[in-house]
Amino acid sequence: MDTWKKWAIGAAVVVVVGGGTRAAGLWGGSNGSSNALKFSFPTEIQTLDFSKNTDTYSGTIIGNTGANLLRVNAKGKAVPELAKSVKVSKDGLTYTATLRSGLKWSDGSSLTAKDFVYSWQRIVDPKTASQYSYLASGVKNADAITAGKAKVSTLGVSAKGNVITFKLERAMPQFNYLLTFANFMPQKQSFVEKQGKKYGTTSAKQLYSGPYKFEGWNGTNNSFKLVKNDNYWDAKSVKTKEIDYSVVKKPETAVQLYKQGKLDRASISTPELYAANKSNKDKVKVPEATTAYIEYNQTGKNKFLANTKIRQALNLATNRKELVDQVTSGISTPANGLAPQGLAKTASGEDLAKYAAPGYKYDAKAAAKLFAEGLKEVGETKMTLTITSDADSSAAKTTLDYLQGSLQKPLPGLKVEEKFVPFKQRLSDSQTQNFEAVVSLWGGDYPEGSTFYDLFKNGASYNHGQFKNSAYTAAVNKAETTDALNDAARDSDYKTAEAALYKDANFNPLYFRAGYSLARPSVKGIITNTTGLNIDFKYAYRK
Amino acid sequence: MVKYILKRLALLIFTLFLVITATFFLMQIMPGTPFNNPKLTPQMIAQLNKAYGLDLPLWQQYLHYLVNAFRGDFGTSFQYQNQSVSMLIGQRLPISAQLGAQALVVGVIAGLLMGAASARNKNNKIDGLLGVVSTLGISVPSFILGIIFLYLFGFKWPLFPVSGWGDSFSQSVLPTLALAVTPAAVVTRFVRSEMIEALSSDYVQLARAKGLSEKEVVNKHAYRNSMIPVLTLIGPMAAGLLTGSTLIENIFSIPGIGQQFVSSIPTKDFPVIMGTTIVYALMLMVMILITDILTAIVDPRVRLQ
């Protein structure tokens, strides 16, 4: 009997002493200086190979440890970074970038124009098999090279001395932003080839050109840090010496750590966390440049959806405000067009989404009237509509549940059926037109309208409903050719395009996705972007 | 014995082959591609498939996989760019295994002590209390305990860190305890019933009749004999613990293999799914084999054939 008691006391002592010494910091572990900024990711990071990366959080590390020709500033404009200047020819087909002198990699070796050429060639090379090679589409021969029909060396990117020249096949209004992108940051050929298959798999197997160096990541571990890069060209603007990162998978835990002062930022984007922290004064909105919308199958396979009045009725019967409140606890924003809030600014500095909004609204009465007329036109008295959505996302599920209930009420004769399939199945169903209506999400790649307006051009591969709207296509084409370098004219083209989509009710915008975070007010200078690098620490510091 | 082990090893290789084949063809039923970017058009997917050899006929892909696997090359992850599967599993499995081993040691020791205490105090208060504890331990899942521990010892009384792995030993305390409760409870009940049986057996009666002290009777005779059946229990339990607990790894942000395996499935990361399945199957089979051999060593009445 006594033996058991001794054991129990022993075990209790171990726990108490262990906990106590840990609390006293005797076990090490509380790494980093107290002045360091502290952030977390909800998942592990995957790679530092930025030609291949598809992961947002790996992208945050990559973007803060790297630099490109231009960098997006606090006002959302692309300003010179490694380039002294970037000039564009009158036809918009040639861009000439001149590098600053004395640029260096984090290891002290010199960074040259050739490193940019190599990086552009690497991403379009079919051997690299990058999932983002399409971003280079428009640069001379990029598509042909990716398809394996031309040599990598024929790409329209060349270097001479400290000048890099880009030749384009067509004018690209977004090209300046591509020059800020992490995927196109310089890479040193000799380093990449030396690392071979292990390139970018640990923090030691990458070179850095940006404000910070990345340290302490062995490919698996969950705590690592960004350390100021003294070889960065603008190191004098970087006030923070160290940013500690850890992986905290449960968002509730991250919020608790924020409240204990152990993290400087925590996402509260789930409806439950948002509801619990709504009145916290540290709350900030984080727009995402992502639009959720319904696509209607307009191939003619479904005679109801081929009818404009029925589509208009469905759009009018959609109560976007209520949807946002019920599905996302009011976190997201009701959509009033295709291009989302926070994506881009017009020439005069207004939000593009606000400027181009064609006037989507909820009007049950008008909807019922149009629906009755539409049914008459197709010679039916009732309609069954199957809407497809993702089975593996709780937001997608609640969205569809809401739509089912709310569309049927104002439209007598309508029966909405739910069809849930896995995300990957939904993508392939959309691409093969195996749907009647489908809830889709689209996120922008760069802060310019074409990242959204390219979607629905006649014959475009993302136009899953396969509708043809000539007025829309003409307006978007005009924006991307004649008006490519004329910001104000392009804005008005996009407005025309939105109006054309609205008139024919070719799609049904639901909401612009957004999130909320708790952010430490004493940490200043963080730049958040809706596309590209989502959180930029270059100017960040603790006051 | 040697012949028996060789026979079991041959069977093990054959089973592995079946597991590889079944997993390979079952994976083809899943929709979609291993490419995460939803913006890829069918043409771009075709180009990527070609680059990764996914456009080849299925039987060719299968043969390639078998040949490469035999050579020890399990491919490269689609999700973790440039990371070979052997490296990915090689880095994460030891973390899960360490956690599992710690939980197993703590759980089994606690179970042995509590089981013996329970049996020796049969039907009194201590037995009743331990009965309640072990019933709770079996019925409350480890991830619920994990969340409770996290709340109590991470936030309410912040004694231990709440997330991460490898920076300090203290990070492993809460997940180890959360994982150890179930094995402890199972072992407790097992040992209790075995001990009660042993204590009323003839050889214990004889030992008592010889005038041995109660301590000697229990430690030398009853305890040892009731340990044998526990061994058969520990083998499969070890396989389960060492291969990682997805939920515990998620709650405490531990970069282990369980978490990795689950995330590889919706992303359709073929090479990782295959590699992990093989490792899991292998571990389970090896553990069962070791258990069988150990049982034979401990209990001379068992003969392996």
CB pairs under 8 A between A and B: 170
Q: Residue A513: which of A496, A526, A530 has the closest Cα?
A: A530
- Report which of A332, A338, A321 is spatially closest to residue A505, judged by C-alpha positions: A338
Asked if A253 lies within 8 A of B162 by C-beta distance, the reply is yes
pLDDT over 60 (residue A365):
yes
Residue type, A9: I
Q: Which pLDDT score, from 0 to 100, does residue A4 have?
A: 54
Taking alpha carbons only, the member of A426, A439, A431 closest to residue A318 is A439
Contacts made by residues A201-206, CB under 8 angstroms, sequence distance 24+: A201/A47, A201/A48, A201/A49, A201/B80, A201/B82, A201/B83, A201/B87, A202/A48, A203/A48, A205/A48, A206/A48, A206/A49, A206/A65
Contacts of residue A423, Cβ cutoff 8 Å, sequence gap at least 6 = A390, A391, A392, A393, B32, B38, B266
Whether B60 and chain A come into contact, CB under 8 Å, resolves to no
Distance between CA atoms of A95 and A166, rounded to whole angstroms? 5
Determine, yes or no, domain membership for B107.
Answer: yes
Task: Kindly state the average pLDDT of the residues B137-157.
Answer: 91
For A65-112, what is each residue's pLDDT tens digit? 999 999 999 988 899 999 999 999 999 999 999 999 999 999 999 999
> What is the pLDDT at residue B289?
87
Q: Has residue B259 been placed in a domain?
A: no
- Per-residue model confidence as pLDDT tens digits over A201-236: 999 999 999 999 999 999 888 899 999 999 999 999
Whether B106 maps to a domain, the answer reads yes
What is the fold, at CATH topology level, of the domain defined by A1-67+192-288+515-543? D-Maltodextrin-Binding Protein; domain 2 (3.40.190)
Given pLDDT bands bounded at 50, 70 and 90, which one contains residue A24? very low
Mutate which: B253, B261, B268, vs A, most A CBs within 10 A: B253
Q: In this structure, how many other beta carbons lie within 10 angstroms of the beta carbon of residue B124? A: 10
Judged by CB atoms closer than 8 Å, whether chains meet at A222 and B80 is answered as no
According to the model, what pLDDT value does residue A518 have?
Answer: 97
pTM: 0.87
- Asked if B47 lies within 8 A of A126 by C-beta distance, the reply is yes
**Contact list, B119 vs chain A (CB under 8 Å):** none
CA distance linking residue B209 with residue B219, whole number of Å: 16
pLDDT for residue A3? 53
Q: Do A200 and B80 touch (CB under 8 A)?
A: no
Rounded to a whole number of angstroms, the distance between the first and last alpha carbons of chain B is 8
Q: Nearest CA to CA, how far is B73 from chain A (Å)?
A: 13
For residue A27, the chain B residues in CB contact (below 8 A) are 168-170
Query: E-strand spans in A371-502?
Result: 383-390, 414-421, 437-443
**Average pLDDT value for residue range B230-258:** 85
Of B42, B158, B268, the CB nearest to A431: B42
Q: Which residue of B has its CA nearest to A53?
A: B81
User: What pLDDT, on a 0 to 100 scale, did the predictor assign at position A460?
Assistant: 86
Query: What residues form DSSP beta bridges with B164?
Result: none
Q: Is residue B33 part of a domain?
A: no
Question: Could A46 and B254 be called an inter-chain contact, meaning their C-beta atoms sit closer than 8 Å?
Answer: no
Measured from the Cβ of residue A232, the count of other Cβ atoms closer than 10 Å reads: 25
DSSP SS3 for A266: strand
Over residues A47-54, mean pLDDT: 92
Among partner residues A4, A18, A46, which is closest to B80 by beta-carbon distance? A46
- Would residue B135 count as lying in a domain? yes
Given a cut of 90, whether residue B80 has pLDDT beyond it is: no
Residue A379, CB-side half-sphere exposure with 13 Å CA sphere: 1
**Residue A193 in this model has a pLDDT that exceeds 90:** yes
Given a cut of 90, whether residue B212 has pLDDT beyond it is no
Domain range for B104? 92-253
Considering only CA atoms, which of B33, B79, B129 is closest in space to residue B275?
B79
pLDDT of residue B37: 78
Residue A275 scores a pLDDT above 50: yes
Determine whether the interchain pair A18/B120 forms a contact, defined as Cβ–Cβ distance below 8 Å: no
Going from N- to C-terminal start, the domains of chain A cover: 1-67+192-288+515-543, 70-184, 290-513
Task: Judge contact between A383 and A413, C-beta under 8 A.
Answer: yes
* pLDDT, average across residues B175-204: 91
pLDDT value of position A438? 96
pLDDT of B112 > 60? The answer is yes
From the candidate CATH numbers 3.30.499.10, 3.40.50.1440, 3.90.76.10, 3.10.130.10, the one assigned to the domain spanning A70-184: 3.90.76.10
Whether the predicted pLDDT of B54 surpasses 50: yes
Q: Does B76 touch chain A (CB under 8 A)?
A: yes
What does the pLDDT look like over A397-413, one tens digit per residue? Answer: 899 999 998 999 999 99
- Interchain contact B251–A (C-beta under 8 A): yes
| Beta pairing, strands A37-41 & A242-247 | parallel
Q: Report the pLDDT value the prediction gives residue B121, as an integer from 0 to 100.
A: 85
Chain A nearest C-alpha distance from B3 (Å): 41
pLDDT bin (cut points 50, 70, 90) of residue A18 is very low
The whole-chain average pLDDT of chain B stands at 87
CATH at residue B189 = 1.10.3720.10
User: Does a structural domain hold residue B103?
Assistant: yes
Contact B31 A134 (CB under 8 A): no
Q: Do B160 and A392 touch (CB under 8 A)?
A: no
Q: What is the mean pLDDT of chain A?
A: 91
Residue A393 clears pLDDT 90, i.e. is over it: no
Pairwise CB contact (< 8 Å): A461 & B95: no
Distance CA A14, CA A7 (A): 11
In this prediction, residue A30 has a pLDDT band, given cuts at 50, 70 and 90, of very low
CATH class of A290-513: alpha beta
pLDDT exceeds 60 at position A27: no
pLDDT tens per residue across span A433-485: 999 999 999 999 999 999 999 999 998 888 999 999 999 999 999 999 999 98
Q: What is the mean pLDDT of residues B29-55?
A: 84
Question: Residue A223 is nearest to which of B120, B155, B167, comparing CB atoms?
Answer: B167
The shortest CB-CB distance from A126 to any of B51, B161, B164 is to B51
Contact A222 B84 (CB under 8 A): no
Q: Which residues of B touch A253 (CB under 8 A)?
A: 150, 154, 162-163, 251, 253
Distance from CA of A446 to the nearest CA of B (A): 14
Work out how many domains chain B is built from and give that number: 1
Q: Interface pTM (ipTM) of the complex?
A: 0.83
Please tell me which residue of chain A has the smallest CA distance to B254.
A222
Q: Are A424 and B79 inside 8 Å of each other by CB? A: no
pLDDT for A10: 55
User: How would DSSP label each residue in A326-363?
Assistant: HHHTT-SEE--SSSPTTS-B-TTS-BHHHHH-------
Residue A51's alpha-carbon distances to A185, B81, B104, B264, in angstroms, are 9, 10, 43, 21
pLDDT at B84 over 80: yes
Nearest to A424 among B31, B92, B150 (CB): B31
Rounded Cα distance between A493 and A499, Å, is 10
Residue A14: its pLDDT value, please?
A: 52
- Are B80 and A47 an interchain contact pair (Cβ–Cβ within 8 Å)? yes
Name the least confident of A241-250, A335-344, B3-12. Answer: B3-12
CB contact burial A298-337 (16+ within 10 A = b; e otherwise): beeebebbbbbbbbbbbbbbbbbeebbebbbbbbbbbbbb
Mean pLDDT in residue range B91-119:
92
Does A35 have pLDDT greater than 50? yes
SS3 call for A26: coil
Between CA B72 and CA B90 the distance in angstroms is 13
Task: Supply the pLDDT for residue B61.
Answer: 92
Chain A: closest CA distance from residue B42 (Å) = 8
| Average confidence (pLDDT) over B276-297 | 86
Domain membership of residue B277 (yes or no) is no
- Taking contacts as CB-CB distances below 8 angstroms, the residues of chain A near B43 are 147, 461
Q: What average pLDDT does this structure show over B216-231?
A: 82
Optimal mutation site among A222, A389, A457, A531, interface B, most CBs of chain B within 10 A: A222
